[in-house]
Amino acid sequence: MYEEPKKKSLAKLIEICVLIFLIFWGIILLINYKRYCDTKAPILMIHSHKEYDDGYTDNYIGLFYNIRYYRRISVTRDEMVPFWKMMENPEAAPDLPVPEKGYNVPENNYRQDKFRGLLYFYDSNHELIGTYKCINGNSTCDKAKTGWDTYNTEGNNPFIIEREHYYLDTMYDKYAWVDDSFQQTPKYGDPTYERIIYLFEINPKDPKILAKYSDIKESTYDDYKSRADGYNHNYIVKSMDNSKWGVVKVKENGTIEEVVPFEYDSITYDLDTKLYILCKDGVWQIKDFDKDKIISENINDPVYDVWRNSNLTYYYITGVSRNISGTEQIVFKAFKEDNTPFLNAEGITGIFPFKKCIMYVDSSDNMLKFMDYGKEVRHSIQLNFSLMIHDDVVHPAVSITEFDDTFVRLKVYKSHDKSNEFEIFRANISDLSRN
């Protein structure tokens, strides 16, 4: 007769344990649903990763449900499903997909680059060559624009307010670069973002994907045409296989020649000098691939620019992050091609080279200085501050609005915070004595 209370206590304990388990399971389910929506790895689930010829799949096994991320050419999607639903495993698609053809092409009267989900390509006479229908997403593809690498040194001169990046131009009126990345929550620049770049042969009767890369950079651009390009049809691209940068040449017959091997962590092309700035395993060098000649090598800091003065001597600029006035800022130094220091004072927050002088911002006295190649400062302008970082909410201390071989026109801002208060200065850079 005394056993019944114990049975009731045990039943109550089991009931409480089940309730606690269900609450805990429900919390984990909600957390994992949120992470699934953000394309992040879930927690407290068994993970398996499987490689295929056309990509990979990540499968996360939980209690009563599974989360799967398909990253294959044959199937590209995410799913959160009950445990009894089997994982999709189609035949591996070819490494290079086959573009769709025979679809309806709406009239694009204003010759837009993208219209009703299709990409439109025109020749030099503005006549339609062909179109492209997205493969990896529902109308999410676009004509490719330049990307960047870990160091993001290309076009990162603090004197230049960021310019617009243009679509890469078509080649020979036959080929085009297409960004057909699948839709994903991370934005470009996030380490988990996966970019897919196709080299597309524009042929309405028989369109083809000729090559696939994980990123691309421009080498030159044309403001008049609002187009970017690779110099002489040489393109800086990132390999899908090893995530390293190299350079390929696209020929008129559609063949692709490797110009620079895919073994670099960063590649930038300098159009003025026709030189490549390269980084491999944290060590930088400047090389002329046309002549197979190394200009400078064994440079330990990121190289931001290379130029040649009026005496045809090569110089380069390095930059590292430092704390200036409580703010993280890139500080720069300049060297000759033999790695001899040319401008190595501390706290230089911006350097801009010209043929007969260099212009730089000195944070020690908030001055914009013009120094000739004899290392003599011949002209200076007082600044209101020396920080050169800029974005949507802050100004640099000074920016270039235009320049040529004789003059440079500058905006000197009164405040680092975004405002319209500035002064205009003009300096003679061909003859500093005339300032």
pLDDT digits (tens, 9 = 90+) for 91-117: 665 578 889 888 999 999 999 999 999
Please count the residues of the chain: 435
Residues 206 and 234 in one domain: yes
The Cα–Cα gap between 360 and 329 comes to 15
Per the structure, the count of domains in the chain is 3
Question: How many CA atoms does the CB half-sphere of 208 hold within 13 Å?
Answer: 8
How many whole angstroms separate alpha carbon 266 and alpha carbon 151? 7
150 HSE (CA, 13 A, CB side): 14
Check whether residue 264 and residue 126 sit in a common domain: yes
Same domain, 247 and 107: yes
pLDDT recorded at residue 269: 93
Tens digit of pLDDT for each residue in 161-193? 767 789 999 999 999 999 999 888 888 888 888
| 386 vs 85: CA distance, rounded Å | 61
* Residue numbers of the domain that contains 140: 96-271
Please check whether residue 218 lies inside any domain of the structure. yes
Residue 284, domain member (yes or no): no
Answer with the one of 243, 271, 299 that is the final residue of a domain: 271
Q: Which of 107, 37, 115, 42 is nearest to 78 (CA)?
A: 37
* Domain identity same for 118 and 67: no
Rounded-to-integer distance, Cα 137 and Cα 195, Å? 12
20, part of any domain:
no
pLDDT at 277 over 90: yes
Task: Examine the fold and report which residue of 94, 121, 138 is the final residue of a domain before the chain moves on.
Answer: 94
pLDDT in tens, 360-405: 999 999 999 999 999 999 999 999 999 998 888 888 999 999 999 9
Using alpha carbons only, how large is the chain's radius of gyration in Å? 28
Using the predicted structure, report yes or no on whether residue 10 has a pLDDT greater than 50.
Answer: yes
CB atoms within 10 A of CB 266: 22
Residue 337 has pLDDT above 70, yes or no: yes
Which of the pair, 292 or 418, is modelled with greater confidence?
292
**pLDDT given for residue 360 in this prediction:** 97
Say if CB 286 and CB 301 are below 8 A apart.
no
Domain stop point among 71, 94, 117: 94
C-alpha–C-alpha distance, residues 245 and 255, integer Å: 19
116 and 87 belong to one structural domain: no
Give Cβ neighbours of residue 63 (< 8 Å, ≥ 6 apart): 25, 83
Asked if residue 21 belongs to a domain, the reply is: no
Residues 89 and 101 occupy one common structural domain: no
Asked whether residue 218 falls in the same domain as residue 311, the answer is: no
276 located within any domain: no
pTM for the complete prediction? 0.77
Residues 87 and 100 in one domain: no
Q: Is residue 317 part of a domain?
A: yes
Domain annotation covers residue 23: no
Whether residue 367 sits in one domain with residue 230? no
